[in-house]
Structure 1
Amino acid sequence: MVFSNVDAKNSVLLVIDLQELLAPAIKDFPNILKSTLQLAQAGIIHGVPCLVTEQYVKGLGETNQQIKNTLSNATYFHKTYFSACAEPGFVDTLKSHGKKQVVVVGTEAHVCVLQTCLDLIENDFEVIIVYDGVGSRNPQHKNLAIEQLRQAGAVISCAEIVIFQWTKKAATPTFKKILPIIK
């Protein structure tokens, strides 16, 4: 698959299982949260739709409150499958946006992020993994998942790269809104 430049007009932001009770176990969670919030804020400015998944809320709690506050207009999916794509209605909802690029953040990289992204690739989406926005309890597991996703055809990026790709041009009113997010 040949990837085009990441484009806000062709992107959906997917936040996978960044939940309150899982957060303390995730290596480097504060930085994952920071990257996710930066993308969320930039996504709002650019009109990028957002989907948020929550794995087994009864056991892992709800999405981190800062994310919920920032992404109040996101579509939320409760799930028990590790791959969000296995949940009824998820892929149809994603396809209803008419966008081919899915920018992904979340946990755990080697479980729900990996399985969801492999299924997204199988469904002909361009998957952009935000390296600084995904995590696992064990950093080695994260790195193995990232390598497997790279081999499967995902693009590995970071929050700031995606934000600049979405923004495209300096010296505009949009860029002036984006600048405080990345500083």
Structure 2
Amino acid sequence: MLAREHSALVLVDVQGKLAQSMVDSAGLIARLSALIEGMKILQVPIFWVEQYPQGLGPTHPQLHALLQPFPCYQKMSFGIGGVPELMSAIADSGRHQLLICGIEAHVCVYQSARQLLSAGYDVEVVADGVSSRTEQNRQIGLAKMQSLGAKLTSVEMALFELVASCDDPAFKRILGLVK
């Protein structure tokens, strides 16, 4: 079960024109926006990364605005394991339950999840918070991450798991994000 004091969100490469070419791009951005807002309400740390922003462009503007004041990490490798500063920041946070989301499910999200699992983290892939340019590649990415030991969750499931109770002061704000 996810717990606020043990969890962090890792957002991978939701950038530029690539973000617009994903399956259900508008829905993906809406769900990721709700997830980011929920993490901020629940005071769960967010780590976000951009793949070669000079070529792929910056993080989607709607998400970029929500991701402040968390620092952005840049990478050239597909997986986040190639970004020592990011891996150190995650380790220094003391969080071991990592929710991962972003694009593309079968490339950068998959390789990042694999590296995080190898580093000993509990990884949950936000299944409705990842996408690829084709649904088939999205499904293959999810299946492969799951076969490696990652668990699947959804935006709503993760947020309510972190809230845990309707008497939590954050419950109504979280409810408003997913309705």
Give me the TM-score of the superposition, normalised by structure 2.
0.97
Cα pair 1:15 1:50 within 8 Å, conserved: yes
Amino acid at match of 1:133: G
Give me the TM-score of the superposition, normalised by structure 1.
0.95
1:98 aligns with 2:98: no
Distance 2:80 2:111 in 1: 8
- Counterpart among 72, 76, 83 of residue 76 in structure 1: 72
Cα pair 1:18 1:106 within 8 Å, conserved: yes
1:29 aligns with 2:20: no
Cα pair 1:82 1:116 within 8 Å, conserved: yes
The Cα shift of 1:178 comes to: 1.4
Structure 2 partner of 1:8 = 4
The Cα shift of 1:124 comes to: 0.4
Distance 1:150 1:136 in 2: 16
Structure 1 partner of 2:135 = 139
The Cα shift of 1:173 comes to: 2.1
Q: Matches of residues 15-164 of structure 1 in structure 2 within 5 Å?
A: 15-164=11-160
Cα pair 1:31 1:133 within 8 Å, conserved: no
Distance 1:160 1:93 in 2: 26
RMSD value, Cα: 0.9
Amino acid at match of 2:114: L
What 5-or-longer segments of structure 1 have no aligned partner? Answer: none
Q: C-alpha deviations, 1:125-178, integer Å up to 9, x for none?
A: 011101110000111111111111111000011000000001001033211221
Amino acid at match of 1:94: I
Q: C-alpha deviations, 1:98-118, integer Å up to 9, x for none?
A: 010111110001110000000
The Cα shift of 1:95 comes to: 0.5
Structure 2 partner of 1:172 = 168
Amino acid at match of 2:107: V
After the TM superposition, which parts of structure 1 deviate over 6 Å for at least 4 consecutive aligned residues?
Answer: none
Q: C-alpha deviations, 1:3-36, integer Å up to 9, x for none?
A: xx01121111111000122112111111111111
The Cα shift of 1:86 comes to: 1.1
Distance 1:158 1:172 in 2: 20
Q: C-alpha deviations, 1:53-72, integer Å up to 9, x for none?
A: 10010111000111111111
Distance 1:110 1:6 in 2: 24
Distance 1:21 1:52 in 2: 18
Number of aligned positions between the proteins? 179
Identity of aligned residues (%): 29
Distance 1:174 1:151 in 2: 34
